[in-house]
Amino acid sequence: MEIQGSNAIFVGGASGMCRATATEFSKKGGKLAILDLEQSEGAAVAKELGGTFYPCNVMDDDGMVDVMGSAVADLGELHFMVNTAGGGVAQRTVKRDGTRHSLADFRRIINLNLIASFNINSIAAEHMAKNEPNDGGERGVMLNTASIAAFEGQIGQVAYSAAKAGIAGMTLTMARDLGTLGIRCMTIAPSLFDTGLTAGIPDEGALQLTKDAAFPRRMGQPHEFATMAIAIFECPMMNGSTIRVDGGQRFAPR
């Protein structure tokens, strides 16, 4: 896929890894829409990148149909969808006080990460399926975000790990579902990145958190996620896989 002349939706694009990817996409001539929470910096980011902003709540299933429909209508077509929206909660299956993990919290994390991702992808794919294919038969690319916690979740990450493992698990099947339409589906599983809750951690603290990495032993930077995301869009053979972007880190139990 060629970025010049392509259109993209960035869900979670107001900050962090998704913002960095939107920035690179815009630099290469792509047209974009930023989707994020109403109270986010999405409007400012969209203005900076020459795009449009659409406030949304990814856990509002029907609302996402409307918001993404509006974004695609304004863009004209949709060729790239990047989704980094998500979050977790710190609870053990059975806590130290003997009480078990809140089922409501577990369900909320699954909904926020996994159910919302599937919904966003299915909406995006429905729009992409209407595109005229390029010379290589491609109509679009969807990129999701898991975590290395999907493979070696730490103590207290059971809900988050389950949700992110679900995203990784659906990637190949979704790619197979959509292959006849010329739509690719990929997932990036990052380690700790300097975004969100981890932003601003002192160097000493960051070194402790990343001590198990091979190299570099530091948190990832948003532009490093963006580099991989753009490469995925541009390479037709990148399909159906979850790629770790982690400096060789494997999470210890805690």
**pLDDT 10s digits, 164-182:** 999 999 999 999 999 999 9
Mean per-residue pLDDT for 28-43?
Answer: 98
Q: Which of 10, 54, 106, 160 is catalytic?
A: 160
* DSSP secondary structure, 64-100, as one string: HHHHHHHHHHHHSS--EEEE-------B-SB-TTSPB
190 vs 60, 131, 195, 221, 243, CA distance in Å?
26, 30, 11, 10, 8
54 is an active site residue: no
CB-based contacts of 3, cutoff 8 Å, min separation 6: 25, 28, 29, 30, 230, 233, 234
pLDDT at 195: 84
Identify the pLDDT of residue 177: 98
pLDDT at residue 198, rounded to an integer: 67
Look up tokens 């006080």; give the residue.
97
Q: Name residues whose C-beta falls within 8 Å of residue 48's C-beta, 6 or more positions apart in sequence.
A: none
All structural domains of the chain, each given as residue ranges with its CATH number in brackets, are 7-243 (3.40.50.720)
63's enclosing H/E stretch is helix 61-75
The answer, yes or no, to whether residue 41 has pLDDT greater than 90, is yes
Q: Determine the Cα–Cα distance for residues 6 and 17; give it in Å rounded to an integer.
A: 20
54-96 pLDDT, tens digit each: 999 999 999 999 999 999 999 999 999 999 999 999 999 999 9
Q: How far is the C-alpha of 122 from the C-alpha of 69, rounded, in Å?
A: 12
Considering the entire predicted model, what is its pTM? Answer: 0.96
Band of residue 199 on the pLDDT scale cut at 50, 70, 90: low
